Amino acid sequence: MSQKEVRVRFAPSPTGPLHIGGVRTALYNYLFAKKHNGSMVLRIEDTDQNRFVQGAEDYVLESLNWCGIEFDEGVHKGGPYGPYKQSERKELYKGYAEKLIESGDAYYAFDTTEELESLRKKLETKKAANTSYSSFCRMEMVNSLTLNDQEVQLKIDSGVPYVIRFKMPENKEVRFTDIIRGDVVVNTSTLDDKVLFKSDGMPTYHLANIVDDYLMKISHVIRGEEWLPSLPLHVLLYKAFGWENKMPQFAHMPLTLKPDGKGKLSKRDGDRLGFPVFPLEWKNPQSGEMSSGFRESGYFPEAFINILAFLGWNPGTEQEIFSMDELIQAFSLERVGKAGSRFDPEKAKWYNHQYLIKKSNEELTQLYQPILKEKDIVCSDEYVSSIVGLIKERANFVTDFWEQSFFFFEAPVEYDAKMIKKGWKENTTEILNAFLSKSEGLEKYTFNNLEIAVKSVLEEKETGMGQLMMPLRLVLVGSGKGPGVIEIMELLGKEEVNNRIRTGISNIKI
């Protein structure tokens, strides 16, 4: 790697919520910057006013903040190369577009929408090799290559709308190296004369992106594979501006694929298969439609980051759980694969489970208490913490806790019919009554004492473990769910256990 200072940028367009692929781009940039003691810039690319979506910029900031991805410079915190929002830099781009006109690398084009439409139709009918505005047809169009200087000036002065197009060189090989994809060669005959500057006075993505990367001294451009087809144009723009020596290195990351590997992961896949594809919940400001988020689905940000890190990168070892600091240490672009990487919703849950079981019972209690409060349940932290300790192995999310522990907070109101059929025998009432009297006599309601009580009932009644434990679970929980029966009893306490046994005995009939 060259000695120059590492400066990377994340450059989202505020056209909607950030997809997990976008967060992964931000993450890889962040890891790369931190690993090389570099700087991370957040630039908002909002030159396409038609695609602007209200709230999208705030959504980006909130999402990345939730993930723990921090910026050194950017739209929200300023820095030496600001402003960091392209609409606020509007004035500077035109000069750069004009520079390219002067050097002969770009030209004014005055073609109307109708003229462009008829060009497209004509080229399609001819089955032309290149059906866009390019070297094949530019000399038949209304532009500064076909008009003389006076005609051009007249049109500009009289306010005829125009765009500035890049003059793509003819039949030239563009060579470049991508850190992930290696050497790439593209012939310019397959490329078109892209618009650099629009009739609304705004630059297009291509011009603004190159000018800003140059002015912001970006050393590495790490972005999604969908931008690879634009790279030949970008390389040619650097050359045309005479900035070749300042050109950043490029790394185009693989696509994030659907769980079955067939195509790019989309919001629709998430809706269909029941998993989020956005970091945070998003409400479409136009339609009001809600999309679920990883945060609201109960994912911890550390788990989310870990999941994203492995979507395209691997450490080359067996280790799967990485904190952000460990990721910074281990990350390298060389270990990012070329092939698209599948999003596996089950593995995502597994990651969250790993982080959940590592958290202390106290921390999980603080996360569970608000859920209980919503159900009007008020219990001490101590009680909730003991419950959490018993059930966390069975949960992927804090939101699973209720399902695993509701019986600690409320007595069963009904009993599972299948369980009754399976476990409730002629002599069950007698066995439960025997246990009840032992339970009533216990001074200290501890695990050990309960275990002794269970054993002595089994001995007295000359019966097997299942004959007592299955009915006990049924009267305590209402179903076959939950952790060990003795643990449940210890936590519920003598009075509650005895009440539930009595209620069970009088309500369950075979």
CA nearest 290: which of 301, 302, 280, 304? 280
Ramachandran bin of 189, using left for φ above 0, alpha for ψ from -120 to 50, beta for the remaining angles: alpha
Work out how close the CB of 369 gets to ligand GLU at its nearest, in angstroms, rounded to a whole number: 40
Nearer to ligand GLU, 227 or 383 (CB): 227
Cα(372)–Cα(401) distance, integer angstroms: 10
Ramachandran bin of 94, using left for φ above 0, alpha for ψ from -120 to 50, beta for the remaining angles: alpha
Nearer to ligand GLU, 60 or 330 (CB): 60
Question: Which amino acid belongs to residue 221?
Answer: V
Cα(407)–Cα(400) distance, integer angstroms: 14
Nearer to ligand GLU, 141 or 180 (CB): 180
Nearer to ligand GLU, 46 or 111 (CB): 46
* Max CA pair span of the chain: 112
Backbone angles phi, psi at 16, to 5 degrees: 160, -175
- The residue behind tokens 């003059």 is 167
Say if CB 281 and CB 299 are below 8 A apart. no
User: Where is 224: in which H helix or E strand?
Assistant: strand 220-224
CA quadruple 271, 277, 278, 280: dihedral positive or negative? positive
Cα(393)–Cα(14) distance, integer angstroms: 40
Work out how close the CB of 21 gets to ligand GLU at its nearest, in angstroms, rounded to a whole number: 10
Work out how close the CB of 195 gets to ligand GLU at its nearest, in angstroms, rounded to a whole number: 16
Locate all alpha helices (DSSP H) within 103-189, ordered by sequence: 113-125, 149-157
Nearer to ligand GLU, 209 or 439 (CB): 209
Cα(502)–Cα(507) distance, integer angstroms: 9
**DSSP state at residue 173:** E
Work out how close the CB of 202 gets to ligand GLU at its nearest, in angstroms, rounded to a whole number: 14
Work out how close the CB of 9 gets to ligand GLU at its nearest, in angstroms, rounded to a whole number: 7
Which residues are 224's β-sheet partners?
253
Question: Which amino acid belongs to residue 144?
Answer: S
Q: Put the strands of the sheet holding 173-178 in their side by side order.
A: 73-74, 39-42, 7-10, 220-224, 249-253, 173-178, 182-187
Footprint on this chain of ligand GLU (rule: CB under 6 A): 11-13, 45, 205, 209, 223, 227
Work out how close the CB of 277 gets to ligand GLU at its nearest, in angstroms, rounded to a whole number: 16
Nearer to ligand GLU, 166 or 205 (CB): 205
Ramachandran bin of 497, using left for φ above 0, alpha for ψ from -120 to 50, beta for the remaining angles: alpha
CA nearest 488: which of 383, 399, 337, 365? 383
Say if CB 88 and CB 78 are below 8 A apart. no
CA angle, 142 as apex, 136 and 147 as ends, to 5°? 105
Nearer to ligand GLU, 12 or 471 (CB): 12
CA nearest 97: which of 248, 211, 253, 225? 211
Nearer to ligand GLU, 214 or 402 (CB): 214
Nearer to ligand GLU, 29 or 385 (CB): 29
Work out how close the CB of 11 gets to ligand GLU at its nearest, in angstroms, rounded to a whole number: 4
From the candidates 90, 217, 246, 267, give the one annotated as an active-site residue.
Answer: 267
Work out how close the CB of 224 gets to ligand GLU at its nearest, in angstroms, rounded to a whole number: 7
Work out how close the CB of 257 gets to ligand GLU at its nearest, in angstroms, rounded to a whole number: 18
Cα(32)–Cα(248) distance, integer angstroms: 14
Establish whether 267 is a catalytic residue: yes
Say if CB 404 and CB 482 are below 8 A apart. yes
Say if CB 96 and CB 207 are below 8 A apart. yes
- The pairing of strands 106-109 and 163-166 is antiparallel
Work out how close the CB of 15 gets to ligand GLU at its nearest, in angstroms, rounded to a whole number: 7
Point out the residues that are catalytic: 267
